[in-house]
Amino acid sequence: MLILAICLAPIVPMTWFFISEERVEQRVDFKCYMAELWSAIKSRAFYQIIAYKFFAGVFEYFTYVASSPVQDHWAGATTLSDKISTIVSYIVFIGALGVTGKYGLMWDWRVMLIGTMLAVVVLDAICTMLTVWNVFRNPWFWFGGPVIEQIPKGISFIISTYVTVELAGEGNEGAVYGLITTVSNLSDPFARTIAKNIDATMDFSTERIQNDSHEVRRDVTISILIMYAAKLFSLCFLVLLPRQKAETQELKRNGGSSKVMGAITVFYLLFALVWSLTTNILGIFPSTACLKIAGGDGC
């Protein structure tokens, strides 16, 4: 921790001396700001994009709880190999951003996401299933899946950035970007809590994983197939995503607005936030971690 603190310490003076911001003389009225934000949320362009980012994200980020014990006990991963794969994942993510930003400005967004998702599921399935069924177990081979997953994540991120640029109006750029980013970040923990509740019906204890029996391999395979089915199902929500910038602008101009849809949007986002916080907090304490809602076997 001390080494980490020493490495991060220079960021403070660098931020102070190298970031220059214009002084704001006129404060933004909070009521007016919230009124503008509500006006944006109830417009079809916004609630449709928000629905896509949230629901597609929930299924795209779906996972399985046996991933860590499988990685440790079957793939034989070490801390070093884990950290190296994380670094490579970031490099792949940045590469996906660069390639998409340079060559994919005019590509069909839906086709891009479909192609990358199908490729990732196939390649990840090869790495994962060969490891689970003890055909070939190697930590570097195992980490191929998480590294490859950064490609659709990078493409999805830059597409959401394009959409944000097209949706943002003068003066509300920060609010629009913050809203879209928050929705994207909210879908990830919500997906993990749902996956934890579903996988709680099967026993993925460390002792059972170490036993490495045919039954536990079967259960792990079932949970992995559920994850792949969820990821592929996320493509169904592409109908909510405009194909390109021109369609986004058309939706913004002629999409209209709905207070009901705006209220529904706020409701399911708040529900996902409360659900994620509740299940994760319950999982911290031993007295409540056994609850099924927290992913336990039941108290």
Three-point CA angle 217, 222, 223, nearest 5°: 100
Q: Does domain 48-256 have CATH number 1.20.1250.20?
A: yes
The token pair at 280 is: 């994760």
Distance CA 297, CA 283 (A): 12
Total residue length of the chain = 299
Q: Where are the domains of the chain?
A: 48-256
Contacts of 71 (CB under 8 A, 6+ apart): 77, 82, 139, 142
Q: What is the pLDDT along the chain (299 residues), one digit of tens a residue?
A: 788 788 888 888 888 888 877 776 677 777 877 887 888 888 888 899 899 989 998 998 888 888 888 888 888 888 888 888 888 988 988 888 888 878 877 888 888 888 888 888 888 898 899 999 988 888 888 888 788 878 877 887 787 777 777 777 666 677 777 788 888 888 888 888 888 888 777 878 888 888 888 889 999 999 999 999 999 999 999 998 888 888 888 888 888 888 999 999 999 989 988 888 888 787 777 777 777 676 666 66
Distance CA 160, CA 163 (A): 5
The token pair at 72 is: 């440790």
Phi, psi of 203 (to 5 degrees): -90, 110
Distance CA 62, CA 135 (A): 25
Write down the pLDDT at residue 172: 66
The answer to pTM > 0.85 is no
With contact defined as beta carbons under 8 Å apart, do 241 and 50 qualify?
A: no
Phi, psi of 133 (to 5 degrees): -95, 15
The token pair at 56 is: 């597609």
